[in-house]
Structure 1
Amino acid sequence: MGLNAKDLRKGLDALARIEPAFASGLAAFGYPDTRISAPGHVSLLRTIVGQQVSTASANAIYGRLEALIGPEMDPAKLAATPDEDLRAVGLSRQKISYVKSLAGLIASGELDLAHLPADDEEAIAQLTKIKGIGRWSAEIYLLFAEGRPDIWPAGDLAVQIEIGHLLGQEERPAEKLVRSLSEAWRPHRGALAIFAWHHYGRRLSAKGADKAPI
């Protein structure tokens, strides 16, 4: 489950030896806290419920859904729940299709979250079979729930911004460039992503900003 503190620190120390800019960033803002989610379909379900709504709204909807289905969110029961019951807890028509896609894949055994492929790209391909789970959501799951050390969400805006800032680039680098640059940072890119979010948030806080992604 997630990168533990020891592995996170070990990865960042290795990156600091590779890239002086990362060493400077660590000196300025220190090591990030660990970021860990429970593996399994409930984490993915929470991701779906939380899409494009506030945290408070997501928690309220999830609470009503949990009261309807049960705390374990049994996939077979969820897949068989009438759409009108799911609408009553606050899910949109689109999210109902996403929820049922996840539940159906798990209940049928077509998607086995306990035995995802060891290859990261193959695992991402498996997860993105779920409606509503794109590459970014799949990467976040593999990083925070499985602790895969080399997951690199190059499409994440904050990652792009902070990698550009750390490397002294005048403009935010595009995803393609961020992905290309990251080849030198294998196999510790997961730790670097967590650090990029941490550095971004601390830097904005130092400027008086009150909100950072993730």
Structure 2
Amino acid sequence: MPEPFFQARAFLAGLDADWARHVAAVGPCLHQAKPTREPYEALVRAIAYQQLHARAGDAILGRFLGLYGSGAFPSPAQILASDVEQLRACGFSASKIVTLRGIAEATLSGVVPDYATALAMDDEALIERLTRLRGIGRWTVEMLLIYSLERLDILPADDFGVREGYRRLKGLAQQPTRKQMIEIGQALRPYRTVAAWYLWRVPTR
């Protein structure tokens, strides 16, 4: 049985010699989504990791989950009832705490949709809806689309790793801009998510 992303890998390898070499060197795409996570949970997790290295994000998220002790992800109501100083002690900044509370409130009011509703929504419609929330940018919603909703054609053009990966792949002196990356991404359709996965893995020289 072929790997889940066999067609995408073959498509990318067929683009040009640079892609062919890189895809061959990396091997099969091992991208793993987390489709069991509700959009609310995915957004809260994304805020924990925003602008941080993975290890720091892991530590903050671990302390945050430890506040509730049940093993289940805290509900929006639990977050709204949480003491601000306890959240600060987890490592969240004052700005991130405001964002967390905003996500919780928007979930209870229906602005943040449940999984089934989000799954049925158009990508851009979901991005437009969720980026109205304080502290939620396009990149955060794109991570939700990639990892929770399993979209295969998302290229986060703002992502440093994507742009730097493309620069190294092509031996460019400078990273492409966001606008240039969007244009470059047109040739990667309909497998832009898999392309991003491979660009995150272009080795440093």
Pairwise CA distance, 1:63: 2.8
The residue number in structure 1 matching 2:62 is 63
After superposition, the Cα gap between the structure-2 partners of 1:29 and 1:68, relative to the gap in structure 1 and judged at 3 Å, is closer
Corresponding residue SS for 1:44: helix
Amino acid at match of 2:76: P
Question: Compared with structure 1, are the counterparts of its residues 77 and 164 closer, same or farther at alpha carbon in structure 2 (3 Å cutoff)?
Answer: same
How many residues in Structure 1 have an aligned counterpart in Structure 2?
198
User: CA–CA distance in 1 between the matches of 2:10 and 2:184?
Assistant: 18
Cα distance in structure 1, aligned partners of 2:75 and 2:197: 31
TM-score, structure 1 normalization: 0.80
**Identity between Structure 1 and Structure 2 (%):** 30
Query: 1:25 corresponds to which letter in structure 2?
Result: H
Distance across 2 between alignment mates of 1:120 and 1:46: 20
Task: Name stretches of at least 5 consecutive residues in structure 2 with no aligned partner.
Answer: none
Cα 1:17–1:89 shift into 2, 3 Å: closer
Cα RMSD between the aligned structures? Answer: 2.3
Deviation at 1:136, TM superposition (A): 1.1
- Cα deviations by residue, 1:32-83 (Å, 9 ceiling, x for unpaired): 3223234322232122122244544433332332233342211122123342
Distance in 1 between residues matched to 2:165 and 2:88, nearest whole Å:
39
Contact 2:44 2:103 in 1 (8 A): yes
| Partner residue, 2:23 | 26
- Cα gap change, 1:179 to 1:101, in 2 (>3 Å): same
Letter in 2 for 1:39: R
Task: Give 1:86 deviation, angstroms.
Answer: 2.5
- Extract unaligned runs of 5+ from structure 1: 208-214
Residue of structure 1 equivalent to 2:136? 133
Report 1:57-96 matches (<5 A). 57-69=56-68, 70=70, 71-96=72-97
Asked whether the equivalents of residues 17 and 23 of structure 1 are also in contact (C-alpha less than 8 Å), the reply is yes
TM-score, normalised to structure 2's length?
Answer: 0.83
- Matched residues in 1 for 2:190 and 2:7: separation? 11
Contact 1:32–1:194 (CA<8 Å) still a contact in 2? yes
